[in-house]
Chains A and B, each alone.
Chain A
Amino acid sequence: EVQLLESGGDLVQPGGSLRLSCAASGFTFSSYAMSWVRQAPGKGLEWVSAISGSGGTTYHADSVKGRFTISRDNSKNTLYLQMNSLRAEDTAVYYCAKYRTIRRDAFDIWGQGTMVTVSS
């Protein structure tokens, strides 16, 4: 069964850091680009970051550029999101998502999400 399991969400103070992890199973992890998507409480979905299958190419939303870094360890089938200089507006459920194909045409598999709360 194809599965994604996020972890690492927590309560953190403004200006703090956090690293999220997403453990993948049931598919050839290194063959697929991956993304992080977040959803603030009661709000819509916001694409955050993406990374190629090899890890050599990354993309970030302007709202997190320079503060968040997406990475992956294909030997561990794990995706990461390093979050620095956190702000109250980063409070959200963070989902990892798998691209459906190498064409990057949709997210077909999503994790259950991990909650990040930024508050003093």
Chain B
Amino acid sequence: AIQLTQSPSSLSASVGDRVTITCRASQGISSALAWYQQKPGKPPKLLIYDASSLESGVPSRFSGSGSGTDFTLTISSLQPEDFATYYCQQFNSYPFTFGQGTRLDIK
């Protein structure tokens, strides 16, 4: 199974900051990667698919990049509603594994 490793596991930042989260795959997955945001007690919300395509309705301050084994999610200017946990997930081959998550807290 393909393993995804996110870094950092947790992050403290302030409103207005630029934040980058990294996801590394244990083997090449082309661009078959999605990013989700999850808030407590809620299901995940799709942000990015195909590594860099923004899901409809998601603010443009979110962006994704990368291919092969290294991927990043960037939030250009943090807003109060962005404090949540973020997960990457690969869709290259089953099982469609998730990263362990990155918790983004208010500094």
Q: List 26 A-B contacts (CB under 8 A).
A: A35-B96, A44-B98, A44-B99, A44-B100, A45-B44, A45-B89, A45-B98, A45-B101, A47-B89, A47-B97, A47-B98, A50-B94, A50-B96, A59-B95, A61-B95, A100-B49, A104-B91, A105-B49, A105-B91, A106-B46, A106-B55, A107-B34, A107-B36, A108-B46, A110-B45, A112-B42
Is the pair B1, A62 in contact by a Cβ cutoff of 8 Å? yes
| Bound-state Cα–Cα, A45 to B101, Å | 8
Is B87 close to A, CB under 8 A?
yes
Is B50 close to A, CB under 8 A?
yes
Residue positions of A touching B, CB distance < 8 A:
35, 44-47, 50, 59, 61-62, 95, 100, 104-108, 110-113
For A62, give its contact among B42, B95, B96 (CB under 8 Å).
B95
> For residues 39 through 60 of chain B, which have their beta carbon under 8 Å from a beta carbon of chain A?
42-46, 49-50, 55
| Bound-state Cα–Cα, A62 to B96, Å | 12
Across the interface, which residues of A come within 8 angstroms of B42, CB to CB?
112
Across the interface, which residues of B come within 8 angstroms of A46, CB to CB?
98
Is the pair B95, A95 in contact by a Cβ cutoff of 8 Å? no
Tell me, rounded to whole Å, the shortest Cβ–Cβ distance linking A92 to chain B.
Answer: 13
Is the pair B44, A107 in contact by a Cβ cutoff of 8 Å? yes
- Shortest Cβ distance from A113 into B: residue: B43
Is B19 close to A, CB under 8 A?
no
| Bound-state Cα–Cα, A108 to B53, Å | 13
